Amino acid sequence: MRLEIGKFKVRDIVFGDKTAYCGGILSVNKEDALKVVCEDKYITEADLKIVHPGDMVRLCPVKDSVEFRCKVDGGEGAYPGVTSPLGQAGMGRTHVLDGVSLLSVGKHWGGFQDGLIDMGGPYQHYTIWGDMPNLVLIADTSELDEQREQQKKNHAIRWAGLRLAEHIAECVRDMEPEEVDVYDLPALNERDEKTKALPGVVYVLQPQTQMEALGYNTLVYGWDGNRMLPTFMHPNEFLDGCLVSGSFMPSSSKISTYEFSTNPMIKRLYAQHGKTINFLGVILSTLNPKMEEKARCVQIAGQIAVALGAKGAVVAEEGYGNPDVDYTAMLVELERLGIKTIGLSDEATGRDGASQPLVSMNPATDALVTTGNVSQFYEMPAMEVIGELEALARDGNSGGWEGCINPDGSCVMENNGMFCANHISGYSRRSCADF
């Protein structure tokens, strides 16, 4: 399966008379863009703003991040099964506006799954979005039944962001990209003998799929992940928009739609394919609320890995707490089957770092990579707010609480509430140091 990602390097975003890309500048016609947003009858008001690295601007509550992309050849759309009819992702050509993103932000109501991003100040570099220009969609909706609920589907705002990102990317559909990344991973039986002799490695991705009620979980080609069993997939499918982020899980532990489609771990494994490893592909697993479901999925995923001939695995968990049981069980099972395995996740060690990092522990889990502590405490200076900072304290954001916002606009917060800050996809900026 061969996928070409045509990149258009964006240095800045501006508003202009037409939506176009030229010489590193993305110009957006604001009026036309808002028409696309307001196609949804539940969107009651919307606006667009542009933020840059270093701006003393705080975004809250952030719902999702999306890459600007359009499908040029070989598929139905940028997010098949969601914004377009169901079709095969992972082949043909997709054009992307590289180095920028669309951020969807609520004008008022947030929830524990929504987050905060600082574009400047001491926490600018805690997320990848602090270091890139972003087009920000700020919207409110008439989904009254969710406004005062801690758990929200955020459907209207998230889908508006997906539609808008694809609409804007259409401006480069017929242009020649400045750079083309090619992802071409042959079928297992068609690889050369040199590659087959290398250790086979699988990437086991556990996206957030815990909610039994529909509408909150990660979508796989538009299908709710809670309704799936572990599945073997081609890595190109992920780089071509087969996953859309859900609206569940404390924010810093989430994987955004942007990260699913630009997954740096998949790209890293691709880069080593044929050199140090034989990258077999991706086992898409699930995170489940019940013990029997956890055990079943781990068992099935393990047998897929064995059937593929895997000798090594990278397991990535979106979330923490209850999902730690699925995560640890997956690590233990793969090791039991003779597959050398590392785990990639964040941890919950408390503000003092002295608590148990994972809900479930096992001596077999001796190769773990942490991307951050969800309980890390932040003291954040006052700055301009896009959205509504009060959502951090009022609406059950997992990093905030009543009284966490000071009269001068400064606030305190746990890492839990910083949007996708732990970057379990592989973007994490956390590092370890000896003192």
pLDDT in tens, 146-199: 877 888 999 999 999 999 999 999 999 999 999 999 999 999 999 999 999 999
pLDDT digits (tens, 9 = 90+) for 384-404: 999 999 999 999 899 999 999
Q: How confident is the model over 405-417, as a mean pLDDT?
A: 97
Residue ranges of domains in the chain: 2-417
The answer to whether the beta carbons of residues 204 and 314 sit under 8 Å apart is yes
- Give percent of the chain with pLDDT exceeding 90: 92
pLDDT digits (tens, 9 = 90+) for 7-38: 999 999 999 999 999 999 999 999 999 999 99
Quote the pLDDT of residue 435: 54
Give the H or E element holding residue 7: strand 2-9
Q: How confident is the model over 345-349, as a mean pLDDT?
A: 94
Quote the pLDDT of residue 148: 78
Q: What are phi and psi of 414, to 5 degrees?
A: -90, 155
> What average pLDDT is seen over the chain?
96
The answer to whether the beta carbons of residues 299 and 219 sit under 8 Å apart is no
Bridge partners, 341 (sequence order): 313
Quote the pLDDT of residue 206: 98
Hey, what long-range contacts does 170-176 have (CB within 8 A, 24 or more apart)? 170/19, 170/70, 171/19, 171/20, 171/21, 171/26, 172/6, 172/8, 172/21, 172/70, 172/95, 172/97, 173/70, 173/72, 173/95, 175/8, 175/21, 175/95, 176/6
Give the H or E element holding residue 262: none
Q: How confident is the model over 297-311, as a mean pLDDT?
A: 98
Residues 272, 273, 277, 280: what is their CA dihedral angle, to the nearest 10 degrees?
130
Quote the pLDDT of residue 433: 66
240-254, 347-361, 374-388 — which is least confidently predicted?
Answer: 347-361
Quote the pLDDT of residue 146: 82
pLDDT digits (tens, 9 = 90+) for 249-289: 899 999 999 999 999 999 999 999 999 999 999 999 999 99
Give yes or no for residue 66 having a pLDDT over 70.
yes
Q: How confident is the model over 293-310, as a mean pLDDT?
A: 98
Quote the pLDDT of residue 149: 83
Quote the pLDDT of residue 145: 76
- Kindly report the pTM of this predicted structure: 0.96
Give yes or no for residue 144 having a pLDDT over 90.
no
